[in-house]
Amino acid sequence: MHDYGEQFGRILSLLDEHGAKGMNVTSIARELGITRISAAKYLELLAASGDVSMERFGQKKLYRRSRRLPLPEVFDRLPNALVILDGDLQVRMVNASFVATLGIQGNRNLVGVPLLDLDLPVFSEVSVRRNIERIRRGETYLDEMRLIDDGTDRVYHVDFAPIVSPAEGSGIMVSLRDITALRRAETALRDSERKMATLFETVPSGIVIFDSAGTILDANRASLRLLGLRTFEQLSAGTIFTLPCTPEKMETLIAKGVPAETELACDFDRMKRERVQSTKAGVAYFDVIFTPIRRDGGGPPTEFAILFKDITRDRRERRDLSLRETRYHAFFENAANGVIIFKTVRDGDDFVFKDLNRAAEQILGVRKEEIVGRSVYDIYPDLADRELREMGTIVLRSDTPVFLPPLQYRKGHGSWIRHYLFCLPSGELASFMIDASGERESDDQYSSAPGNR
């Protein structure tokens, strides 16, 4: 191989001397003192490797030195750390990345030094040394390996390849890439995937993943439990459109392809007719969060997911509460007696009108919007009586209802009103009002009758 390398070098030097004019095979053979057949063979190999170019002129072939890229400059800018060894495993060439990756001092000369004598990171590993020796001996070798450098705790991907240069003979190229960050990212990704898998299986809410055609791709255990199913196969016997009472609602969500929160009703009897054999019956209501699953490469989503929880009981309770509130308001507004709700201020130091019914409006001769939110004592200063204040405080602190004696909201004007005052669980005061004007007139007539004066 060294004889070949010498002849290759002589041919290339000769072509360099003749520059753009070029030379034919006969001229090269005569200049070098070799046979025409040998010269033709060398030129064929050099043309195959790209070191020389050939042009035909009739029956003749004219050879020139190829205009090649400046290999040293390109080699030095490659991102991977590269070292080229000769047949004796001496360093023939290294690039800047090799020096930087292995932390080699800039003034240290590596060229011409046996690589295995340099005590460099990675190349001190027995497995790396043995693999390089196998390549040199022409034995079976590994073309790549990954290893961790114990000294730096860095992870490297190493590639090995035998090479042959027409000018310099056989050698070995070793490429080194620091993949520590990549490995850490892979580890973090695996940890994230493990956490997501744990969350997927342990979250109490149901999760179902499906495609745009409605095919169910995956579901967690909670979703099976909420739907009254035992296996994923039971769920996948239908589609995502089998679950809601109104499939059009799910179709609309998929068509829009944007995250949304909604409420879906599920008819288990309908599911059974659609071959999804649930153990539940009737209709259940679910609070649903719908989300598209974005594709890595962009573009419209093709997969979607819903996260849902059963709100049937909450919905029933809300309905019952709504009915109770409706009954309460009907009773409140249509009661024959006046009813007033007071909000307490400063532990009973003052009271604010919060609500009153139609009967109370008639008794007081006001409209609700005129007094709600205002202080009782600001509107009716005559009620700011010390005894009345104390009665209100007693009710608040003891939670004991009291009857107030007949009073006028404005002394000398309006009706005489009795109050049954009691405390609500909310801490507010409520009062039933009874018009006692008739009683007062009877009392006045009795007091003015002869013999009662």
The reply to whether 81 and 125 lie within a common domain is: yes
Kindly state the helix (H) or strand (E) to which residue 429 belongs, with its residue range. Answer: strand 429-435
The reply to whether 147 and 236 lie within a common domain is: no
User: Are the beta carbons of 172 and 84 closer than 8 angstroms?
Assistant: yes
**Tally of residues, the chain:** 453
Cβ neighbors of 83 (< 8 A, separation 6 or more) are 91, 93, 94, 98, 115, 173, 174, 176
Helix residue ranges per DSSP H, 33-112: 36-49, 71-77, 96-101
Between CA 375 and CA 396 the distance in angstroms is: 17
In a domain, 231, yes or no: yes
Q: How many CA atoms lie within 13 A of 111 on its CB side?
A: 6
The reply to whether 208 and 310 lie within a common domain is: yes
Between CA 116 and CA 91 the distance in angstroms is: 10
In a domain, 341, yes or no: yes
The reply to whether 207 and 311 lie within a common domain is: yes
In a domain, 94, yes or no: yes
Give the total number of structural domains in the chain: 4
Task: Give the per-residue pLDDT at 453.
Answer: 47
The reply to whether 55 and 80 lie within a common domain is: no
- Domain closes at, from 315, 349, 380: 315
Kindly state the helix (H) or strand (E) to which residue 18 belongs, with its residue range. Answer: helix 2-18
In a domain, 269, yes or no: yes
Q: Which residue type occupies 105?
A: Q
Which tokens in the block code for residue 320? 């019952």
Task: Give the per-residue pLDDT at 436.
Answer: 79
In a domain, 160, yes or no: yes
- Domain closes at, from 60, 93, 109: 60
User: Are the beta carbons of 433 and 403 closer than 8 angstroms?
Assistant: no
Task: Give the per-residue pLDDT at 350.
Answer: 84
Identify the CATH number of the domain in which residue 16 sits: 1.10.10.10
Kindly state the helix (H) or strand (E) to which residue 149 belongs, with its residue range. Answer: strand 144-149
- Give which of 345, 289, 292, 287 is closest to 312, Cα–Cα: 287
The reply to whether 258 and 358 lie within a common domain is: no
The reply to whether 88 and 178 lie within a common domain is: yes
**What are the phi and psi torsion angles at 276 (to 5°)?**
-100, 100
Between CA 416 and CA 439 the distance in angstroms is: 9
Q: For the chain, 453 residues long, give each residue's pLDDT as a single digit of tens.
A: 446 667 888 888 888 888 878 899 999 999 999 999 988 888 888 887 677 888 888 778 888 887 665 566 677 778 899 999 998 999 988 988 998 888 888 777 888 999 989 888 899 899 999 999 999 999 999 999 999 988 788 899 999 999 877 666 788 999 999 998 988 888 888 888 888 788 888 889 999 999 999 999 999 999 999 999 999 999 999 999 999 988 999 999 999 999 999 999 999 999 999 889 999 999 999 999 999 998 877 788 999 999 999 999 888 888 877 777 777 787 888 887 889 998 988 877 888 999 999 988 888 889 999 999 999 888 888 887 777 778 888 888 888 898 888 888 888 777 788 888 898 888 888 888 887 776 655 544 434 444 444
The reply to whether 8 and 56 lie within a common domain is: yes
In a domain, 65, yes or no: no
The reply to whether 274 and 307 lie within a common domain is: yes
Task: Give the per-residue pLDDT at 69.
Answer: 54
Task: Give the per-residue pLDDT at 446.
Answer: 39
Task: Give the per-residue pLDDT at 52.
Answer: 83
User: Are the beta carbons of 270 and 278 closer than 8 angstroms?
Assistant: no
Task: Give the per-residue pLDDT at 369.
Answer: 92
In a domain, 375, yes or no: yes
Between CA 286 and CA 246 the distance in angstroms is: 13
Between CA 180 and CA 102 the distance in angstroms is: 14
In a domain, 299, yes or no: yes
State which residues form the domain around 289. Answer: 203-315
The reply to whether 141 and 92 lie within a common domain is: yes
Identify the CATH number of the domain in which residue 410 sits: 3.30.450.20
